[in-house]
Amino acid sequence: MQEFTYTARSMTGQDVTGRITADTSDDVMAILIERSLSPLAVKPAKKKGISFSFGSGVSTELLAATLTQLADLLTNGVPLLKGLEILVQQTPNDRMKTVLSDIRNRISEGAQLFEAMAVHPNIFNELTISIIRAGTEGAFLEESLQQTAEFLERQDELRAKIKGAMAYPAFLAVAGSAVTLVLIVFFVPKFADLFAQLERQGTLPAATVVLLWLSEFLGKFGILVLAAAGGAVYGLRRWASSPHGREWIDARKTKLPMFGSIFLNGAVSRFCRILGTLLRNGVPMLKALEISSESSGNVVLGHAIRDAAENISSGETLSEPLSKCGLIPGNVMAMLSIAEEANNLEQVLNNIADTIDKKVARQLDTMVRLIEPALLMVMGSAVLFVIVALLLPVFEMSTSMS
C-alpha cells in the first residue's frame, strides 16, 4: 500500500484535505465516497515524516506494551484520539512518541488506525496492520489490538529463549578463541630463540614447527587476516540477504544435522501461528496465506504457501498443495486436513504452533547441552596443542642432556 493525499468536498460544500493509505487511487476515491465526500483530487503523497531505514529503534516488548495499553484504554471507553494522546505522554521512547503523534494527527485528519500505522512499516509490520484492519472493519478493534500484542509477546519470548540458550556457548567460543590467539601471538614468540637453535640441530618436533609458523604468520599478517575475515563476513551477509542467497540458505539449513529440524519446526510454527491469528481475526484466507508466507522466516516454505494459495483460489483445500512441498511434518498435515473438514482451522493452527514451540524448546535445550561440552573439547584441544608444542622441545632437551 502507498499513501495518497486528497482534496474532497463535504455535503455542506466545504473542501477538506487529508491523507489515506490504500493500494490505488481508485480505492482512495471509494473510501472518500463511503465517508460521504466528493473526491476532487487524489495523488500520491510526497514522502514525509520519519525514516526508519536504519532500524526502528522500537523493541517488540515496547510495541506489545503500547498496543496492550491502547486496547485497555479503548475497552474502558476512552476515545481513540484521547487514548493515543495519553500514550504519547506516557511513552518513554522518543521514536515511539513521535510515531504515535504522527498516527494521532493522521487519524484526526480522517484516516483509519490501520492506515496511519501503515505509514510506518518498520514499526508495524503487515501482520499487525492486517489484524488491526480486520478488527476495525469487524468492530472488534480492542480485541484485535490485544491479540496482536499477545502474538508479539509470544514471538519475543521465543527469540529471547533462543538467545538465552545460545549465550553461554557463544561466550565459550569467544573466550576460548581469545585465549588461544593470545597464547599463539604473544606467548609463543618468547621461545623463538630457543626453538631456532633446536631447529638448526634438526630436533624440533613437527607440532612445534607448525606452532611457530602459525605464530609468525599471525604476527605479520594478523591484521590482514582480520580484515579479510571481516570482509568475508560482510560479503556473506550481503549475499545471504539477496533473494538467491536467502533461498539457497533456507533450502539447506532445514537439512542440517541437529539444527535442521529446529529451523524447520520454527518456520512451520511461525506459519501456523500467523495464519491462525489472521483467520481468527477475520482476515480472508488468501490474504492470510499471502501474509503468513512472507512472515514464515523461510523462503522455500513461503513459496510452498503461495503455491497453496493459488491452488485454493482454484478450489482445492489447503492441506493438499502443502503436503506436496515435503517441508511440513506428516502429523501436522493430518491435523490440518481434519481441521479443514471440521471447519475449525484457526483454532487447530494455534494449537499446532503451541505444540511445535514446546518441541523446539526441548530441542534447543538438548542442542545446548551437546554444544557446551563439544566447545569445551575443541577449545581445550587447541590450548593443549599449544602447550604440548611448547613443552615437547623442553622434554627432548632434558632427555638429551641426561
Digitized pLDDT (tens) for each residue of the chain, 402 residues in all: 566 777 877 777 777 777 776 767 777 787 778 777 787 778 776 544 433 333 456 788 888 888 888 889 888 888 888 888 888 888 888 888 888 888 888 888 888 888 888 888 888 877 788 778 777 877 778 888 887 888 788 778 777 777 777 787 788 788 888 888 887 888 778 777 777 777 676 667 788 888 888 888 888 888 898 899 899 999 988 888 888 888 888 888 888 887 788 888 888 888 888 788 778 777 788 877 877 777 777 888 888 888 777 777 666 667 776 777 777 777 888 887 888 777 777 788 888 888 888 888 888 778 877 887 888 888 888 888 888 887 777 776 666 655
* pTM, to two decimals: 0.61
In a domain, residue 391? The reply is yes
Count how many domains the chain has: 3
Q: Which residues contact 267 (CB under 8 A, 6 or more apart)?
A: 254, 296, 297, 298, 301, 327
Residues 39, 82 within the same domain: no
Q: Which residues contact 83 (CB under 8 A, 6 or more apart)?
A: 70, 73, 74
Residues 17, 94 within the same domain: no
DSSP string over 50-98: ---TT-----HHHHHHHHHHHHHHHHTT--HHHHHHHHHHH---HHHHH
Residues 107, 173 within the same domain: no
Burial class (CB in 10 A: 0-12, 13-18, 19+), 140: middle
CA distance 223 to 243: 32
CATH code of residue 250: 1.20.81.30
In a domain, residue 14? The reply is yes
In a domain, residue 51? The reply is no
Residues 117, 197 within the same domain: no
Phi and psi at 298, nearest 5°, equal -135, 120
Pairing mode of beta strands 2-9, 15-22 = antiparallel
Phi and psi at 239, nearest 5°, equal -65, -40
In a domain, residue 317? The reply is yes
Measuring CA to CA, how many Å separate 159 from each of 50, 155, 164, 165, 173?
27, 6, 9, 10, 21
Contact 145, 132 (CB under 8 A): yes
Point out the domain boundary residue: 84, 108, 124. Answer: 124
CA distance 393 to 193: 12
Q: Which residues contact 117 (CB under 8 A, 6 or more apart)?
A: 103, 123, 124, 128, 129, 132
Long-range CB contacts for residues 353-358, cutoff 8 Å, separation at least 24 = 353/269, 353/270, 353/272, 353/273, 353/276, 356/265, 356/266, 356/268, 356/269, 356/272, 356/332, 357/158, 357/269
DSSP string over 104-157: HHHHHTT--HHHHHHT-TTTS-HHHHHHHHHHHHTT-HHHHHHHHHHHHHHHHH
Contact 113, 103 (CB under 8 A): yes
What are the grid coordinates assigned to 21, written together?
493509505
Residues 12, 102 within the same domain: no
Residues 177, 314 within the same domain: yes
Domain residues for 177? 156-402
Point out the domain boundary residue: 124, 141, 175. Answer: 124
Sign of CA dihedral 268, 270, 273, 278: negative
